[in-house]
Amino acid sequence: MSSLPALLVAAPLLGSVLALLAGLVRSETGWPVALVTAAVQVAGAGVLASRAFDGTVSYVVGGFTAPFGIELVVDGLSATIALLVAVVSLAVLAYSRVAGPRTNAFYAVYLLLVAGLTGMSITGDVFNMYVFLEITGLAAYALVASGEGGRSARAALKYLIVGTVGASLFLLGIGYAFVATGTLNMADLSTQLAAVGYTEPLVQAAFALLVVGLFVKVAVFPLHAWQPDAYAGSPDSVSALISALVSTVAAYALIRIVFTVFTVDFLQANPVARSLLVAGAIVSIVFGSVLAVSQTEIKRMLAYSSVSQFGLVVGAVAVANETALIGATVHLVGHAVMKGGLFLTAGLIATATGAQTVDDYEGLIQRLPLGAGAFGLLALAMVGVPPAVGFVGKWYIALGAVEAAAWPLAVVILLSTLLTLAYFARILERMFFRDASGERVAVDGVSPGMTGVVVAAALAAVVLGMLAFEYGQLLEPTVQALLS
């Protein structure tokens, strides 16, 4: 069907409404609706991805031709992200059936988040991207608030305030770009901005506002303050979904804005703009890791780890060559699988044994071999031990930095592996080489779905690593087009 891109956004919206309406008839009926929708979404995104790797798919909504109407553009990069969104949201459903919040309102918002994320990944219009950014944000705030108790409500409020500031900066940036050019279509913007001149203050201000707005959404240090609370305060299935997807899609938007809208020529004309990206990357990598080492709660530690890992992606954007961008994409996908998997494993361990802090993990291998094994495997993958996917992403990014002769960044990127090891080694040592302290706490409620998805994530982290080099070659034409 030629309308597939539009239907890919419409399908989760439809599912969201159906989940809401099903709740009027009978409560706790949201899960099956969400499952069917997510399965359809995976199929649709798969078909779209197979087409997008043959050649960029573009689609004009409502017959209003671009640059006036809204255009959806799907290239290899956006198709990858859209497929990632679909697959991860399906996988997290397997976990949330037993663990989850079970209300219909929860699944309605869950699917709304999927719609927002899919929309952000396939749109070719900056204002449309802002609309989907807001949908994503609002749905994410509501999901974080769906936990029980005051902690999640407080985290959601903080997330709401900081996230809205980020989205407003993004909107302001769009406004500046619109004033400068009179267009909102990304492809049109890139030619018009070049015509206006890359050193015009208006264009530079638009770039700064857009990038800083997205920094808030990606949670780059020091704009990350919302993120640890949001990840640690929400229910396990929500932390996994949000950590795997929301910042990832925001980072994708950053790549899109920097390379499709402003292009590499802008970065070359403005060394300050590149310095902004480099500074964000370095500070994020170092401070994210340092803060992760100092955490006692597992979920907060994983959250700070995300700050550091997204520093790598921002670094790749700053390097702006082919190798680094392939690395950024691989690392986005890999990080989503690994971090989502780690949060789900942490949730599984907390459900099975009640362990939530680093010290609680002592001797976990004796109490819960499966949970400890999966956590260990995912942690090593995150550190970047070959052949896991974490290695491939970091390898490409580091190689790109060396190719571009960006030495300070290259050093920090290589150092980041050691820093990642620093915070995961603490846990690995406690899990595998210490005896369990205290008596066993027998908490149960682990479903086969929860176990299955954790094992699947751990295996995927390794298998994706083996496929990643071939995927990198497949992505090459897309990245070349992005950089030209």
User: Is residue 266 within 8 Å of residue 193, measured between CB atoms?
Assistant: yes
Instruction: Supply the minimum distance, in Å, between the C-beta of residue 1 and another protein.
Output: 7
CA–CA gap between residue 439 and residue 78 (Å, rounded)? 49
Instruction: Supply the minimum distance, in Å, between the C-beta of residue 20 and another protein.
Output: 5
13 near another protein, judged by CB under 8 A: yes
Task: Name the residue among 205, 178, 181 with its Cα closest to residue 191.
Answer: 181
480 burial level (CB within 10 Å; 0-12, 13-18, 19+): exposed
- Closer of 71 and 362 to another protein (Cβ): 71
Piece of 7-15, 224-232, 308-316, 420-428 that binds another protein (CB under 8 A): 7-15
CA–CA gap between residue 211 and residue 213 (Å, rounded)? 5
- Closer of 21 and 39 to another protein (Cβ): 21
131 near another protein, judged by CB under 8 A: no
CA–CA gap between residue 413 and residue 407 (Å, rounded)? 10
DSSP summary character for residue 261: I
Instruction: Supply the minimum distance, in Å, between the C-beta of residue 64 and another protein.
Output: 9
- Closer of 21 and 272 to another protein (Cβ): 21
77 burial level (CB within 10 Å; 0-12, 13-18, 19+): buried
Instruction: Supply the minimum distance, in Å, between the C-beta of residue 211 and another protein.
Output: 30
14 near another protein, judged by CB under 8 A: yes
- Closer of 2 and 484 to another protein (Cβ): 2
CA–CA gap between residue 60 and residue 42 (Å, rounded)? 22
User: Is residue 274 within 8 Å of residue 267, measured between CB atoms?
Assistant: yes
Piece of 18-26, 264-272, 334-342, 450-458 that binds another protein (CB under 8 A): 18-26
Instruction: Supply the minimum distance, in Å, between the C-beta of residue 150 and another protein.
Output: 11
List Cβ neighbours of 141 (8 Å cut-off, separation of 6 or more). 156, 159, 160, 163
20 near another protein, judged by CB under 8 A: yes
CA 108, 3, 43, 338 torsion: positive or negative?
negative
- Peptide bond connecting 235 to the previous residue in cis, omega within 30 degrees of 0: no
295 near another protein, judged by CB under 8 A: no
Instruction: Supply the minimum distance, in Å, between the C-beta of residue 392 and another protein.
Output: 37
CA–CA gap between residue 141 and residue 146 (Å, rounded)? 9
CA–CA gap between residue 418 and residue 87 (Å, rounded)? 30
User: Is residue 332 within 8 Å of residue 246, measured between CB atoms?
Assistant: no
425 near another protein, judged by CB under 8 A: no
How remote is the C-alpha of 430 from its chain's centroid? Answer: 29
- Closer of 25 and 442 to another protein (Cβ): 25
- Closer of 61 and 415 to another protein (Cβ): 61
Instruction: Supply the minimum distance, in Å, between the C-beta of residue 191 and another protein.
Output: 25
Which residues 56-115 are close enough to bind another protein by CB under 8 A?
59-63, 105
Piece of 8-16, 302-310, 334-342, 359-367 that binds another protein (CB under 8 A): 8-16
Strand 71-74 to 57-60 pairing: antiparallel
201 near another protein, judged by CB under 8 A: no
Instruction: Supply the minimum distance, in Å, between the C-beta of residue 79 and another protein.
Output: 18
Summarize as ranges the residues that interact with another protein (CB under 8 A): 1-3, 6-7, 10, 13-14, 16-17, 20-21, 23-24, 59-63, 105
